[in-house]
Amino acid sequence: MGGIKKSESVDGISSPSTSSANSSSSNKSNGSNLEISSQDPWSLLLPTNSTEIDEISKLIEEKLLKQLNKQVNPSKKFNLYDVAPFITDGAEVLVDDEFTKCFTSPEMDSWNWNIYLYPAWLFGLFIRFCILFPLRVTCLVVGSFAFAVAFFLSTTFVKNQKTRKHYQRKCISFLSNVFIMSWSGVIRYHGVKPLRKKNQVFVANHTTVMDVVVLQSQFNHAMVGQKHKGLLGFIQDYILNCIGCLWFDRAESKDRLLVAQQISKHIENENNDPLLIFPEGVCVNNQYCVMFKKGAFELPNVTIHPVAIKYNTLYVDAFWNSKKQSFIRHMFNLMTSWALVCDVWYLEPQTIRDGETATQFSNRVKAMIAKKAGIINVPWDGYLKYFKPGPRFAEHKQKIFASRFKKKFASNDAEDNESSNTNNNDEEDNENSNTNNNDSNNSNSSTNGKDQPENNIINNVKQRKLANPNE
């Protein structure tokens, strides 16, 4: 992963330095938002397959190339400014990589490698893996079975739709608490639970898929997501449907537009569960807060309820690095830890201010969440961790680089020729001027030579008169 360079925003997309994009990129744009698609709700979510990632990569490549074309020194002469960006890129690769820090687990200090603490660590390992883990698995299995039975009974035998949904929602909250129990979770909620109102959208920073479980355990939220098939599709259609989740097919533009309309209708109805969105779109390591997509902040008359989530890494790192860990492995790490300790803050509701853009609104809310959770607020776009430039991008970048320098050197050659011609003309003028001066001097000297005898005679006459005034 290369170093990251600040860059200007181009057509709503801020890009990293192109050298850092050689493996996985980032973006920093003076706090401005990067939007893959600000209007489509799918831009709020994580890409799920290689096709989506390829589409995003192509879009980013186009924006980077446009930006690179605009970064031209207005001066026609070749100077240090032309090579400084490339030198900076290379230096940043060697010095630091601020983007990757957002998506890597922090390194834990080793404390058990001595004769006194190592036996205690082994004893704790035995307790966690041989006692706590089996108990937690048992609780998860029993709780899931109880949820399945209760949900089936409420769905099958309760005829009243309002009552049926009430019991179904209770079942989902119960299952969320079962998961938290399987991690020995300690969740501390701060602030007042917001009352249900029109046009509410809850936005939170995103560390793991378990963020949903943590928030669902207290009260239900509706979510927006990709529609799947198979077992996951069954869960979406028959279980999560009761809390009003909105599913769509990313490949169908009509579905995305339809969901955008459904989101507006959903938040206008007070009887629906409040909508929960993670504007970062990706899981971050809970030490940084990356850019918020502005889609949710563009909804008309929307009231944003910021939610800050902070996990204590003393017992376990809750961050799910989906590129290195499967979901089963992530669950195993949580269930073999001592406990999952988490703090959740419900912050003051926010509305867009007069003269404030959706981008500025999202940045303001993001800053509030980052400050409350004690995490670092950075403007990187999380989607860029899926960006890996292809050969076409490298080839185009080389062509732009070469053509730029050809123009510079061609301009310098033309200027050198002009200056050379000018110097030659000046030299000819100087030679002509010197010739004229020499001729003038010669003429003056010859004139002075002719007049010299007459002057001598006059001087002699004057001297004789002074010596003999009677003459």
pLDDT tens-place string over residues 252-270? 666 667 777 888 899 999 8
pLDDT at 46: 44
Report the domain count for the chain.
1
What is the average per-residue pLDDT within 59-86? 65
CB distance 288 to 376 below 8 Å = yes
pLDDT of residue 51: 63
Six token digits for residue 55 = 């589409």
Q: Yes or no: say if 387 and 57 are a contact pair by the CB < 8 Å rule.
A: yes
Q: Decide which of 240 and 311 is more confident.
A: 311
Asked which of 188-202, 218-232, 424-438 is least confident by mean pLDDT, the reply is 424-438
Going by pLDDT thresholds of 50, 70 and 90, the confidence category of residue 145 is very high
Sequence-separated (6 or more) residues with CB below 8 Å from residue 87? none
Angle between helices 391-467 and 50-70 (to 10 degrees): 10
Mean pLDDT of the residues in the chain? 76
Which range among 10-14, 105-109, 311-315, 434-438 has the greatest average pLDDT? 311-315
The reported pLDDT for the residue numbered 184 is 94
281: left (phi over 0), alpha (psi -120 to 50) or beta: left
- Which of 334, 306, 102, 346 has the alpha carbon at shortest distance from 209? 334
Distances (CA, A) of 243 to 40, 78, 427, 465: 22, 63, 89, 138
Give pLDDT, residue 421.
57
In terms of pLDDT, which residue wins out, 204 or 3?
204
Residue 365 domain flag:
yes
Give domain status of residue 312, yes or no.
Answer: yes
Closest CA to 296 of 364, 362, 369, 222: 362
Domain limits at 267?
103-386
- Residue 84 included in any domain: no
DSSP designation for 172: H
Assess if residue 22 is contained within a domain. Answer: no
What is the per-residue pLDDT for 81? 65
Domain annotation covers residue 431: no
Which CA distances in Å does 188 have to 296, 333, 337, 342, 412?
Answer: 27, 21, 18, 6, 67
What string of DSSP letters covers 265-278?
HHHH-TTSPPEEE-
Q: Please determine, for residue 375, whether its predicted confidence score (pLDDT) is greater than 70.
A: yes
Structure token digits, residue 369:
């969440």
Q: What residues have CB less than 8 Å from 244, skipping those under 6 apart?
A: 222, 266, 272, 273
Residue 71 banded pLDDT, cuts 50, 70, 90: low
pLDDT of residue 28: 39
Determine the Cα–Cα distance for residues 275 and 223; give it in Å rounded to an integer: 6
pLDDT of residue 110: 76
Q: Which tokens in the block code for residue 42?
A: 């799918």
Q: Is residue 453 part of a domain?
A: no
Neighbour-count burial for 150-188, b at 16+ CB within 10 Å, e otherwise: bbeebbeeeeeeeebbebbbebbbebbbbbbebbbbebe
- In terms of pLDDT, which residue wins out, 182 or 459? 182
Is there a domain that residue 17 lies in? Answer: no
Residue 341 resides in a domain: yes
pLDDT reported for residue 412: 58
What confidence tier does 362 reach under pLDDT thresholds 50, 70, 90?
very high
What torsion, rounded to 10 degrees, do the Cα atoms 448, 454, 457, 459 define? -50
Q: Report residue 160 as tokens.
A: 């009243």
Nearest of 294, 76, 320, 295 to residue 183 by alpha carbon: 320
> Does pLDDT of 339 surpass 80?
yes
What pLDDT score was predicted for residue 113?
A: 81
**Rg of the chain on CA atoms, in Å:** 38
